[in-house]
Amino acid sequence: MARRPQAAPRQAPPATLVIFGGTGDLARRLLMPAIAHLCGDGLIADELRIIGIGAREGSDEDLRASLDEFAPKTECWRTLRDNITYLQGDFTKPPLFNDLKAKLADAGNVVFYLATPAQFFGPIVESLAGAGLMQEKENAFRRVAVEKPFGHDLASARALNKQILAVVDEAQVYRIDHFLGKETVQNIMVARFANPWLEAVWNNRYIDSIQITAAETVDVGTRGAFYDATGALRDMVPNHLFQLMAMVGMEPPNDLSADSIRTEKAKLLEAVRIPTPAEAKQNAVRGQYQGYRKAADVNPKSNVETYVALKFWVDSWRWAGVPFYLRTGKALKARDNYMLQMQRRTAEAMQLINQSKQAKLQEQLAQTMASFQIGDDASTFDEMRDKIDRRAAAAEARMQLGSTSVDNQMQEIEKEAMDMQLQDKLLQYKKEMGLLPAGSDAPAPQALPAQGETSSRS
């Protein structure tokens, strides 16, 4: 079947992106390169403006120069770079928000991205709302994107959520995990649910353990104050790695809507067995790389972990008895954005895949061959077309099973197609000569499958 032309990517509307923490590590290493790649893919408008907000003194060019280190050296980045400006100020003081309001006086769509320490999330949103910067106009939206960690435990997460929703609408808030934007992460569900042969062995019968690793060669860099208050466990596990574990272990959603996917992820996380204190001590490892205590803004006597490895159990029918190992760390020898390993009986799993595939093809061949009882005396257009459709399906099954050659099968299909065309011409001739019964009509000719294709009729 001919491949349908792909639709042009949808471009985001013109907007202003305000980054609180615009001079920080997250903005430099992740946000700006991502925005530059979106620009290169034609997904953002040329009118995009970026305002970086930071506490240190500096100019527009100082900010641009600091962002150049990790940004791709492309023409798109050079164009985007000219639209970046800097605003210096204190997140906790009203003057900053008054200055920001003046800069956004003529702005339409605005997105506020909070790439700051978590303790600033609530106060910044309150200050934005207090300055009238979250008020939406007709055909102009206002959004706020909140990075992780969203609280340090359940109680603090609920308190932060309540604080934010007291001043803005839920539809204006995006609680994001930038890890989910990675292409390899997005491909997990495609690999799982678009491949029935793989899904057949995606369970505890054929998988002994699942290991998910997010390893980084970089150290804490300029994030010493944040990291020393957070650690590897809170920085990576309850967000990035739990999201990966949920995507790997979740059941197939009813559809690919956000609500359906979130529901299945939640079911998987609810099935994670809560360890006892003794089990937590036995199934967790914490470590710290040499030299961490000498990093800027880190306590010289810090006991915060920069490496953590955990073992979890998921009490579900699919994963009963299969341990999930989660690992992450800074300043490691090898870098992996994420590495997924699934171990056990690879040969048996592949044998099952092949057996299932062969069984399906044999079943398809048996069904199509059995349906040939219609006989060679088919006298209507639809009967002839259905017959050819079944012959094409049978030919495809035979070819995959290796029971006949492609050329021989195509000759048979082409012969049947020629017979059908003659039958169609005969029906058209009878219609023109008035030889058809009253109320009868010949179907309009339809395109035949091209060579190498099969008809889509069932």
Res 396: pLDDT: 54
305 neighbors 328 (Cβ within 8 angstroms)? no
Tokens coding 317:
């029918």
109 neighbors 15 (Cβ within 8 angstroms)? yes
**Mean predicted confidence (pLDDT) in 301-322:** 94
More confident residue, 402 or 237: 237
**Mean predicted confidence (pLDDT) in 96-119:** 91
292 neighbors 276 (Cβ within 8 angstroms)? no
Share the mean pLDDT of the chain.
78
Catalytic residue among 37, 152, 178, 240: 240
The pLDDT of residue 248 is above 60:
yes
With the CA atoms of 301, 306, 307 and 312 taken in that order, what torsion angle do they form, in degrees rounded to the nearest 10?
Answer: 100
The pLDDT of residue 413 is above 80:
no
Active site residue 240: yes
* Residues in Cβ contact with 304 at an 8 Å cutoff, skipping those fewer than 6 apart: 227, 228, 229, 230, 231, 288, 292
Residues 201, 99: Cα–Cα separation, whole Å: 58
pTM above 0.75, yes or no: no
Tokens coding 315:
């009490």
67 neighbors 51 (Cβ within 8 angstroms)? no
The pLDDT of residue 306 is above 50:
yes
What is the torsional sign of CA 241, 247, 251, 255? positive
pLDDT in tens, 366-399: 554 444 443 344 444 455 555 555 555 555 555 5
Residues 109, 141: Cα–Cα separation, whole Å: 5
DSSP per-residue letters across 2-17: PPPPPPPPPPPPS-EE
Q: Could you give all domains of the chain from N- to C-terminal order, each with its CATH number?
A: 16-176 (3.40.50.720), 180-344 (3.30.360.10), 348-432 (no CATH)
The pLDDT of residue 452 is above 60:
no
